[in-house]
Amino acid sequence: MAAQKNRLKIRALVAGNWKMNGSKKDLSELRKLATAMKPTKSGGQVKAEVMICPPATLLPRMADVKAKGIALGGQDCHANINGAHTGDISAEMLKEAGAKAVIIGHSERRADHNESDKIVRAKVEAAHRAGLMAIMCIGESLKQRKAGETLKVVQGQLRGSLPDGCTAKNTVIAYEPVWAIGSGLTPSVEQVGEVHTALRKALMRRFGDEGAKTRILYGGSVKPANAEELMAVPHVNGALVGGASLKAQDFYGILKAYL
In the chain, domain spans = 2-34+47-258
Whole-angstrom distance, CA of residue 52 vs CA of residue 62: 9
| Alpha carbon distances (Å) from 236 to 82, 134, 150, 158 | 36, 17, 17, 16
Whole-angstrom distance, CA of residue 9 vs CA of residue 163: 25
Predicted TM-score of the model (pTM): 0.95
Regions of the chain short of the pLDDT cut 70: 1-8, 41-43
Considering the four listed CATH numbers 3.30.390.50, 3.40.50.720, 3.20.20.70, 3.60.21.10, the one that applies to the domain covering 2-34+47-258 is 3.20.20.70
Closest to 122 in 3D by CA, of 88, 73, 71: 88
H or E, element range at 119: helix 117-130
- Enumerate the active-site residues: 106, 176
Closest to 76 in 3D by CA, of 141, 22, 158, 135: 135
